[in-house]
Structure 1
């Protein structure tokens, strides 16, 4: 068997194995739901909303229908066993397929149906008379489900609306770009995921101040949208949303990944879904240039260089955080090749050691005003001295 034939056979086998596992997963979920119905243990469906965003023509909303959505955590008193219990609940999700969900905003309405994993996506026509409010709120509710309850069948969903005077949009990775995850070390990553919470997770030094200045205009008004992409599963959505709030990092839509066996889901290897999400955002907001932020620990440099090759006039700059700034490592060498590839299409890519260096480069390009450097420097120095939680 030739090398090409062997590779093709491996790809066919991998695809077959994925489809088989996906089918088994669906059958198992369906069987569990039948048993619960038989014993009257179905649970009450509730909506877990995800932050949405408004484009020129549509308001994009999504979320999930579960009978066990994440509970609000008490970050001051939670201990490791409570964090572990919450983490297990996040991953043992009890999704509800086939539920009709209605969304309302500015008098516009739309409905959709949750899929086999409980996820739903819908688009509302954007009202022509809609005011340009940076953050708005849409209302979601469950329609005509026999177990829905009036007091729990509704949810509010934050909607990011890009104002006409936005100068650029930001796409930022999460893991080891704004949040210490130890993504290059499986043991460390598992420990942080299962035994920590949003309060114990540490942000990158100075990142809150850097992103706040990037988001705001010269008058301090939130103007430039930030979108967060991550290989983390949607099961961690509430933890990441709380992390942004607790650490005063500007909020923005979190675009995560489904946890499942399908070809396009979390158990598939690689991080290319982040490129797909970046591509969709760049096409959706076709009047805005983009700044991209990632880290050197995973595939961000490769993915962003690919985006630069596809959209060289739309991407104005790429920042890659060095996960080991005190060392010359294989990560640096890997990034260097994509720095060169990005430069070939006219898009600068920078390997930066911290938020201060990123701010200095942004000021040189006019993406930040010179006045931003002092507070970002101070915040970076302060965070370096921050005790571990």
Structure 2
């Protein structure tokens, strides 16, 4: 201790600590993680985290049980940096923000002039006393004006997760990596068909993936989606969790999911929406609430049937949705959902000679 009574900084001890963390694949330098943002011509938003401790990104996928377990555990060995100053430059204008207690930042601004549809690169810088500490890059998405937009859950909607069985879900997370996980048969094809329904590949129908999974799994989920060629889209996940909260993975507050979906609909008032989910958690009830709050905005709801116990309640929800003129498909196999989408005219019909 310093004679003044204050602890004196020990550079050697700090260096040893950094080297120890580095050996186990943890970075102790500040990191800015920028997630896919979204917006329209008149307003844009981008979000991310500033972390003072985070997992090092691996350059290759390891197909080994212990490596999978350690890779997953590292995703939760994070330390958010609260009240950090961040900024981004857009159209020669600097926008400022500050991170919340959990290190999360959210930029929302109106651009000086309209931004064309498509993906646009953005860089977020973390500064301290006017000095750049770290920066991260991401993209902001402005959808084209297409016939409809899709909002999908992730776990047990297209990614086999066993969400209702916490230990079974953890077993899958720990024993598989993002590249070895599997989607439900036919789910990717359904999403690809919806993405290109009544449009052309350069102008896909926009996709938003809204989940109760935490931001810790963002890169993991993105890697899975890229591996299986799911439509490119914006991922809106739940609050970052620490290592001590690992057992609660995917079991966040579902009311925030309603809020995230509502913000998407408010951002695109001219577009109708297709909602995709499952019956293992709260999707049917959240989608029913969305339909009530946004009448005549939802054209179709798809719910994967995995829980026989919940079937009567879900069928009651479907009855309420259909009474509002919303087409519903409660299905076990994705081929049923694809056939329904063809009947609805959301995707191209099969050729007459098929």
TM range (shorter): 0.7 to 0.9
The match for 2:139 among 158, 180, 185 is 158
- Asked if 2 retains the 8 angstrom alpha-carbon contact of 1:198 and 1:242, the reply is yes
The match for 2:225 among 240, 244, 255 is 244
**Greater share of helix:** 1
The match for 2:346 among 363, 367, 370 is 367
- Asked if 1 retains the 8 angstrom alpha-carbon contact of 2:86 and 2:99, the reply is yes
Mapped partners of 1:243, 1:372: distance in 2:
32
Deviation per CA, 1:18-60: give whole Å up to 9, x if none: xxxxxxxxxxxxxxxx999776468421101111112242111
The match for 1:208 among 182, 188, 193 is 188
- Asked if 1 retains the 8 angstrom alpha-carbon contact of 2:41 and 2:116, the reply is no
Q: Does 1:198 align with 2:182?
A: no
Mapped partners of 1:271, 1:232: distance in 2:
10
Aligned to 1:385: none
Deviation per CA, 1:326-381: give whole Å up to 9, x if none: xxx22322211111111222222220222222122112222111149999xxxxxx
Aligned to 1:135: 119
Taking a change above 3 Å as real, the CA distance of residues 36 and 96 of structure 1, as seen in their structure-2 partners, is farther
Mapped partners of 2:321, 2:272: distance in 1:
16
Mapped partners of 2:111, 2:335: distance in 1:
39
The match for 1:95 among 55, 77, 80 is 80
CA offset at residue 308 of structure 1? 1.3
Mapped partners of 1:47, 1:138: distance in 2:
12
Mapped partners of 2:333, 2:251: distance in 1:
31
Mapped partners of 1:373, 1:242: distance in 2:
37
SS at 1:363 equivalent: helix
Taking a change above 3 Å as real, the CA distance of residues 222 and 244 of structure 1, as seen in their structure-2 partners, is farther
More moved, 313-322 vs 194-203: 194-203
Aligned to 2:156: 176
Mapped partners of 1:142, 1:338: distance in 2:
46
Deviation per CA, 1:83-120: give whole Å up to 9, x if none: 22222221121111222111123434311111211111
Mapped partners of 1:35, 1:289: distance in 2:
60
SS at 2:325 equivalent: coil
Mapped partners of 2:173, 2:7: distance in 1:
31
Aligned to 2:70: 85
Mapped partners of 2:272, 2:121: distance in 1:
26
Structure 2's unaligned 5+ residue stretches are 1-5, 19-27, 243-247
Mapped partners of 1:127, 1:64: distance in 2:
26
Equivalent residue pairs, number? 330
CA offset at residue 62 of structure 1? 0.4
CA offset at residue 291 of structure 1? 0.5
TM-score by length of 2: 0.84
The match for 2:312 among 322, 333, 351 is 333
- Asked if 2 retains the 8 angstrom alpha-carbon contact of 1:46 and 1:65, the reply is yes
Mapped partners of 2:51, 2:275: distance in 1:
33
Aligned to 1:3: none
Aligned ranges 1:47-126 → 2 under 5 Å: 47-73=32-58, 76-126=61-111
Mapped partners of 1:281, 1:50: distance in 2:
16
- Asked if 1 retains the 8 angstrom alpha-carbon contact of 2:160 and 2:182, the reply is yes
SS at 2:204 equivalent: coil
Q: Does 1:253 align with 2:234?
A: yes
Structure 1's unaligned 5+ residue stretches are 1-33, 376-389
- Asked if 2 retains the 8 angstrom alpha-carbon contact of 1:295 and 1:323, the reply is yes
The match for 2:301 among 300, 318, 336 is 318
